[in-house]
Amino acid sequence: MSFHGVSCKHCVDLLVDYLEGQLAPEHEKALDDHFMACPPCLDFLDQYRASSRLCRRALETEIPQVMADKLDEFLSKHCK
């Protein structure tokens, strides 16, 4: 699918740059226009943002020491 000269694949390919503000203003505008006209891409963008927030929150939580020790033991045994 293509809206305003931007394909859905192009949106996905540029998603990280888009979210990090690394695109030229005209490219960012083209993606904004595409997202507003393409519900599947807008849903993908929303899910990507939600996943990113969830991962950040998960990384803020420290693993209990007992679990960290068991994980180290498991990795030592199985990842040589």
What is the enclosing helix (H) or strand (E) of 71?
Answer: helix 65-78
Residue 4 confidence (pLDDT)? 56
Domain boundaries, the chain: 2-78
Q: Where are the alpha helices (DSSP H) in 4-78?
A: 8-13, 15-19, 25-37, 39-60, 65-78
Measure the CA–CA gap between 28 and 69, rounded to whole angstroms.
Answer: 45
Per-residue pLDDT of 11-51, as tens digits, reads 889 999 999 999 999 989 999 999 999 999 999 999 999 98
Q: pLDDT: is 58 or 24 the higher one? A: 24
